[in-house]
Amino acid sequence: MYREGETRMLRKLGANERVVWQTIQAGSINFIVVAHVLGHVEEANLRIVLDLLSKRHPLLRTRIDIREGEPFFTSFDVPDIPLRVVRRTRKAQWQEEAETEVNTTLPWATGPLLRVVLLQDDECSDIMIRFHHVVGDGKSGVFLVHDLMRLLGRVSSGEIPQVELMPERPPVEELLPRVNTLEELVKSAALASKQLFNLVVRHPRKLPVDKNAFLEPLSTRIVHCILSEEDTGALVERCRTESTSVHGAICAAMLTAVQEQICDSEHVDSITVNCMSPVDLRPFLNPPLGEELGFFASMVITAHKFHDNSTFWDLARNVRHQVQNSIQSGGPFVFISLLDKLTPRDAQPSEFAKRASEIYPAPIMVTNLRHIAMPREYGSLNLGKLHFAVSNKAVPDLFNAAVATFAERLAINFSYVEPVVSPERAHALVEDTMGILNAQLHSKSVA
């Protein structure tokens, strides 16, 4: 709740935030960050830290209020951050709790727009933080865990820390590089033309639907995979040798697995498959941001036509090349304004999700936080693993991969929406993707 001395917040949602907020009402789009901590975390200490974090980050003490038909962030009458404490009885219980969280709707009208779960036994504690996507992206989750662990280490040692308050930021559109109207129109037209060509000429495919989304309740499921330090290092080195990125390699493995499933289903030999790659906008914003929370992300969509003579590493290089070219040409900036223009403000939430899926058809999305440079030691606590997962019920036929490398180990949390994508299809895609990566990891380079 509001505390004396705190600054009250009242800010209208930006165009990017509004589109996400309306789309989420058609089906949850949120993410959960999972921190595996070696050591026992006291509930009372974590409660103190959550109160400090709520004071430090403006968006953590907000809800969404409708004023004259427009959505606003407001800090008026917002409850404390909910903390659910669970006693661990099984080794992989964090995955069950994470699925429970991402399948539970966050009450945006009452707030706050995140939830925390503490899963613990006497030796280990898993801290899970679920965000409503309108107040945070994957990078925000990493920043919040960093803040939380620093404060938790100090509180666990008996300190009463003071926190530096983060500034309230405007919507991302107001922080992007300024371009003149003509330049923006030209770039918007170019991106729209490229997408129209992709839709009409290439006819990109989506995953086969196993069951209609309207017939049964939707549930997000998570499949966790993590590489050893040795395999993570080998993958990084192989990608460097092949002049591509780890992101390009993971996308290539998923594209190959998806392409094989679609071709088998449609009895065709060659198709175009799109891949969605979220992009962190923080490096391009003015003023520069620190470890602040917010939705500062956009999207790059790459298109890949499979040819008989192309290799896995050709595909990985092509992914990297298309992503880099799009970023350099300002594609992620234009994506925000284009999506807002192509989706009417008075459209129903389900129309937002349907329109976005039609304009940008893709069977997969790969969100990659890359290498997370964060300390592991916080007083008596040790951060053993850190990763995250994505829920996307608004576009239920999308197969997701959330990628992060921490403590020299690469983790991938695949997620899918059941029953639109069946467990059999999803697990086959995971097995094929990891099998393709593993085969390339241990094959000899021809370069």
Give me 284's structure tokens: 């391009």
**CATH 3.40.250.10, domain 10-156, yes or no:** no
As a whole number, the mean pLDDT across the chain is 88
User: 90-121, pLDDT tens digit by residue?
Assistant: 888 999 999 999 999 899 999 999 999 999 99
pLDDT of 1 above 60: no
The Cα 87–Cα 217 span in angstroms is: 28
Element (H, E) at 131: strand 124-132
User: 181-209, pLDDT tens digit by residue?
Assistant: 556 556 555 655 665 555 544 566 788 88
Q: What is the CA radius of gyration of the chain?
A: 22
Model pTM?
0.91
User: 47-64, pLDDT tens digit by residue?
Assistant: 999 999 999 999 999 999
Nearest to 412 by CA among 382, 436, 433, 396: 433
Residue 267: partners with Cβ closer than 8 Å, 6 or more residues away: none
The Cα 336–Cα 330 span in angstroms is: 11
First CA to last CA distance, the chain: 60
CA atoms within 13 A on the CB side of 118: 23
- 121-130, 168-177, 237-246: range with lowest mean pLDDT: 168-177
What's the CATH superfamily of 175-441?
Nonribosomal peptide synthetase, condensation domain (3.30.559.30)
Give me 330's structure tokens: 């300002």
Where along the chain do the CATH 3.30.559.10 domains lie? 10-156
Residue 213: partners with Cβ closer than 8 Å, 6 or more residues away: 396, 397, 417, 420
Where along the chain do the CATH 3.30.559.30 domains lie? 175-441
